[in-house]
Structure 1
Amino acid sequence: MASTPARAEILFTIPGNLISAEIDIFLTSGTATTATIRNSDGTFDTTVNIPANGTAIVTIPNSGRIGALGTASINGYSIDSPDPIAAYLMDANIPVASNDITNLFPDTSLGTSYLVMAATSGLVANGSQMAVVTGTDNTTVTITPSADLTTGQLAGAPFAVTLNRLEAIEFRASGSGDLTGTTITATQPVAAFGGHFCANVPDDVGACDHVIEQLPASADFGTSFVLVSTEQGGPGDVVKILARDNGTVVTFVDSVGTTVHPTLNAGQSLTLLPELVENTRVTSNHPILLGQFMIGAGLAINGDPAFALVPDQSQWLDRYIFNVPAGDYNDFLGIAIESTALGSLQLDGVAVNPADFSPVPGTTLMAGNVSTGDGSHVIEASTSFMLLGHGFNNSAGSYFGVGGSAISGGGVTPPPPPPPSGTPNAIPTLSSWALMLLAGLIGALALAGLRRRTAG
């Protein structure tokens, strides 16, 4: 699927993290351009140059987070550029004990109705979190939490807050509550985020890691997915399903056979055991949100918790640019592609080894993990395909993120080619580009002291 490039404002905010650290915003473009990041009152206002097919990094201090829970904050941010760009947020920006990354959506992909997918922990209390930021004055946001909040609001009881342009607000669940299934509605489009300020996955296994994802609007949930298990080791990845509508039936197909999971109603979720170890086809009769989690070092052979929202097949793209961070990570690309197009799949102009792929049961797709090295890369094929990126080391460091999708910024295009000789008025066709996987994704390196704190 090719996406259509469009200039758009990007809105974001920075929820709390167990670790106090700076945050990096990664900006990339197919053309040399500029971008400006500013907060509500202009106390943060920075313009940077973005090189063509490259990355610019803007660092935001720890004081630039939302701050006090349940209170409107000036620390909502906008990113503006005269050209199409892609953006990711990495928190923290150094390999400490609690990192994660999320891609950031343009305002053309924002909505007024959301269901939250978050995380929980049996070892770190008061951590399941959600946050909202708006680009419009006098936006009324109505929240119906799925769990009691630390700020006093009760589960199931709707309440409203009013935000002005670039104001943001964060809420967290009390105790071990999970904000998955919380509903958010707004009178104007907003950007919404879900996660945990230091989640344990599963929730009784150490150590913890900050997890965060920008949430798609409920209208952008999907019905057709492929799960590609990570190379982390241990018993397997954790999968979480969130239903948008009543009577949702989710079906998994793997090499063992077909599993039909219990029917879910709107806002209900199901967290599966850490057992995803092979390619799996996921379909549903109504749209769902599908989360995939790497597990804690207490169970895994390597790495620690990390979180990605798996893109629906209709949102896949045909070309991605990504940058693998330097370090001692074992880095992999999780890919699903039509079997007939596998021969066209190229990484940096070299055909990908088909031996790394195996069939996705019940489909004509092939999927697998391809090892890659540090630095910038381009991967492309003759048709759309799914791209996830993950990495881990033997010191509980890990990352997990989505390579891009049709809703998360999409086509960042290079300059058009010159008109053919002798036809000065010819209008060239722009090539299709995908949203970048800016793997400034740096996994959380669990410090021994923190591991004792979260495991206890």
Structure 2
Amino acid sequence: MKRWALGVGCVSALALMGCSAGGNSNQAQGGSSSGASGGNGGSGGTAGFTFGGSGGTGGDVPDDDPTTCAEAAARRTYIGCDFWPTVTANAVWSVFNFAAVAANTGSETASVTVTLGDTHITSAEIPPGELRTLYLPWIPALKGPETDQCLHAGASPTTDRMNKGAYHLVSDRPIAVYQFNPLEYASIGGPPGKNWTDCHTNPGTCPFPTPCDQTYYTYTNDASLLLPSTAMTGNYRMAGRHGYHHAFTQYPEFMTLTATQDGTRVTVYVSPTGTIEAGGGIPQVPGGGTTELEMNAGDVVQLLTYTSLTGSGELSGSLIQANKPIQVISGTACSLVPDDKVACDHTEESLLPAETFGQHYLVVPPTGPKGDVPGHVVRIYGNFDNTQLSYPNGAPSGAPTSLNAGQWVDLGIVKQTFEVQGNQAFAVASFQLGGSLVDPNPINPEEPNPDGKGDPSLSFVTAVEQYRTHFVFLAPLNYDISYADVSGPLGVTLMLDGAAVTTPATPVGNEFGVTRIRLGPGNQGAHVLTASEPVGLQVLGYGRYTSYQYPGGLNLKRIAPPPDTPR
């Protein structure tokens, strides 16, 4: 959530000054509230899970979309029938809407129901090839406080526990699901009957309109690809980035845990750099410490750490282990990327299970709002000791050649596409840059661009081993511009929405290439991408000083062993 205050005598509260945060690498140890209401509704089940298994070597996953929930569960991809949308910390004004968007990937109508505990929230029928937006009430304890009318942060959010705080989205046919926090980036649209009048009459509710324009903006959005519970495991390596800390405001980094089954026991081995703040009956946990949690299906625990002015405060490298499948969302209430460039924005993304990490990645800078490639901040995360890394087509500056379990390295701004391989599984994250870098003021780059697009967003790079040949994905229509960034073998044939993609690929060495596609409206924002060989897909979009990005889809084969439990 970033702000340049426009008129009415208020001064921007956020993001005009950066803070240093840590060094370029860290070695980790390894390793009450209110909700929404509605009528009665049912719930769905989840598949069983054996904790501590070897992970196996995966196996080929058919890329044609499954037609039954049993097929979806067996294939372990991003397509499934059982999901858990979960609100995460964001100081956005609550007049904007949290939402889950479900896309029907099959050939038969999908019946979808959303519940919160025993309370029915909403239902939808989704015809084949279409999507539905499911507007869901905020969960205040997880969302945290809002900024005031002068764009200053209110009270800082705290660690909290919300029993039955996650929404349960169940379908009778396989679907893909994304959550948006929030969905709109401007005071336009929303659910049927949405009244934005409050935005225009009560400046304490929404940010001020721009001159000659009565549209209000969130300035703080991101989205997550939700994983079906049948693709989840009980092993996650925290991968993220610190939150924003200024003299008069601070925004935390969070890991938000959602249980999918009763009797779930979770142990969090906290990285040495990330003290977990107390709250919700959970005591403070110092860096290098351990906390244990007992959870039932739908329970949410949101663990927070704050970045100090001296730079400490990183949960990255922490190890989360559970005896049953859980969902973990990584993110920040607001962060600057890099630390000295405006503006600040909410970030979030579903962590990928550690068993799905690969040993081979093609790391592609996201397409910028002008169709250029301004770069991104890249972090590489170790999951096992003595992981050796190589860069077949050249290493970016600061790239590590080895990592240990829980160690991460921040490469800073990277503008080149690069390939990285390891002798053991590891993870890679991409952070979009602040709007002042991706869409600078054309007259004076030292001043904010009043019409600039873009700001920080978090996504995880898909391992080459998890590439697919078929994707159904969403690019919401309420953003100004969206792109599909496709990475794969040179010479691959791509089809988007039934038409051949003629945009030439940019070679990366002699084997791979990157194709950048500006997206049209598709079918209400839904798109279908097919490829003659397996490819990776990132979907991203831009609005006024905000953005979103997520993997457009991936296989989630268990191709790596789970990480070792710290001794």
Structure 2 length normalisation: TM-score?
0.67
Identify if the C-alpha distance between structure 1 residues 160 and 330 changes in structure 2 by more than 3 Å, giving closer, same or farther: same
What is aligned with 1:374?
A: 521
Match of 1:82 among 147, 162, 172: 172
Superposed CA offset, 1:31-50 (max 9, x none): 3111111122x235322111
Structure 2 letter corresponding to 1:247: N
Report if the CA contact (8 A) 1:123-1:203 is conserved: no
Whether 2:306 is the aligned partner of 1:159: answer no
| Paired residue secondary structure (1:188) | coil
What is aligned with 1:196?
A: 332
Identify if the C-alpha distance between structure 1 residues 359 and 65 changes in structure 2 by more than 3 Å, giving closer, same or farther: farther
Superposed CA offset, 1:67-95 (max 9, x none): 66232432122221111111110101210
Question: Hey, what's the Cα distance between the residues in 1 that align with 2:519 and 2:298?
Answer: 38
Report if the CA contact (8 A) 2:487-2:537 is conserved: yes
What is aligned with 2:434?
A: 296
Question: Hey, what's the Cα distance between the residues in 2 that align with 1:292 and 1:114?
Answer: 18
Moved more, 137-146 or 60-69: 60-69
| Paired residue secondary structure (1:319) | strand
The alpha carbon displacement at 1:156 in A equals 0.9
Matches within 5 A, 1:19-168: 19-21=92-94, 22-29=97-104, 30=106, 31-40=108-117, 42-63=118-139, 66=142, 69-95=159-185, 96-123=218-245, 125-146=250-271, 147-151=274-278, 152-168=284-300
Identify if the C-alpha distance between structure 1 residues 197 and 257 changes in structure 2 by more than 3 Å, giving closer, same or farther: closer
Structure 1 letter corresponding to 2:114: I
Whether 2:404 is the aligned partner of 1:265: answer yes
| Paired residue secondary structure (1:273) | strand
Identify if the C-alpha distance between structure 1 residues 206 and 221 changes in structure 2 by more than 3 Å, giving closer, same or farther: same
Whether 2:542 is the aligned partner of 1:392: answer yes
Structure 1 letter corresponding to 2:182: A
| Paired residue secondary structure (2:172) | coil
Question: Hey, what's the Cα distance between the residues in 2 that align with 1:39 and 1:212?
Answer: 21
Identity rate of aligned residues, in percent? 24
Question: Hey, what's the Cα distance between the residues in 1 that align with 2:503 and 2:131?
Answer: 30
| Paired residue secondary structure (1:66) | helix
The alpha carbon displacement at 1:278 in A equals 3.0
Superposed CA offset, 1:290-348 (max 9, x none): 1111101232224111111111112111122334333562322111122242xx31223
Report if the CA contact (8 A) 1:2-1:318 is conserved: no
Question: Hey, what's the Cα distance between the residues in 1 that align with 2:237 and 2:159?
Answer: 20
Superposed CA offset, 1:114-158 (max 9, x none): 111122134363410001111222211111222112212111111
The alpha carbon displacement at 1:235 in A equals 5.0
Report if the CA contact (8 A) 1:130-1:171 is conserved: yes
Report if the CA contact (8 A) 1:252-1:258 is conserved: no
| Paired residue secondary structure (1:406) | coil
Match of 2:506 among 358, 370, 385: 358
Question: Hey, what's the Cα distance between the residues in 1 that align with 2:478 and 2:256?
Answer: 31
Moved more, 238-247 or 365-374: 365-374
Match of 2:461 among 307, 310, 328: 310
Identify if the C-alpha distance between structure 1 residues 12 and 348 changes in structure 2 by more than 3 Å, giving closer, same or farther: closer
Identify if the C-alpha distance between structure 1 residues 328 and 267 changes in structure 2 by more than 3 Å, giving closer, same or farther: closer
Question: Hey, what's the Cα distance between the residues in 1 that align with 2:547 and 2:306?
Answer: 27
What is aligned with 1:414?
A: none
The structure with more strand, counted as a fraction of residues: 1
Superposed CA offset, 1:255-297 (max 9, x none): 688986142210111111112x233212122111111111012
Question: Hey, what's the Cα distance between the residues in 2 that align with 1:271 and 1:256?
Answer: 13
| Paired residue secondary structure (1:298) | helix
Structure 2 letter corresponding to 1:352: V
Report if the CA contact (8 A) 1:315-1:407 is conserved: yes
Report if the CA contact (8 A) 1:388-1:400 is conserved: yes
Q: How many residues align?
A: 401
Match of 2:386 among 229, 232, 247: 247
What is aligned with 1:285?
A: 423
Report if the CA contact (8 A) 1:320-1:378 is conserved: yes
Report if the CA contact (8 A) 1:76-1:168 is conserved: yes
Question: Hey, what's the Cα distance between the residues in 1 that align with 2:478 and 2:169?
Answer: 29
Question: Hey, what's the Cα distance between the residues in 2 that align with 1:256 and 1:132?
Answer: 34
Question: Hey, what's the Cα distance between the residues in 1 that align with 2:435 and 2:364?
Answer: 20
Whether 2:90 is the aligned partner of 1:17: answer yes
Runs (5+) with no aligned partner, structure 2: 1-60, 70-80, 144-157, 186-217, 279-283, 440-452, 558-567
Report if the CA contact (8 A) 1:334-1:388 is conserved: yes
Report if the CA contact (8 A) 1:334-1:370 is conserved: yes
The alpha carbon displacement at 1:214 in A equals 0.8
| Paired residue secondary structure (1:49) | strand
Structure 1 length normalisation: TM-score?
0.82
Report if the CA contact (8 A) 1:251-1:260 is conserved: no
| Paired residue secondary structure (1:314) | helix
| Paired residue secondary structure (2:391) | strand
Runs (5+) with no aligned partner, structure 1: 409-456
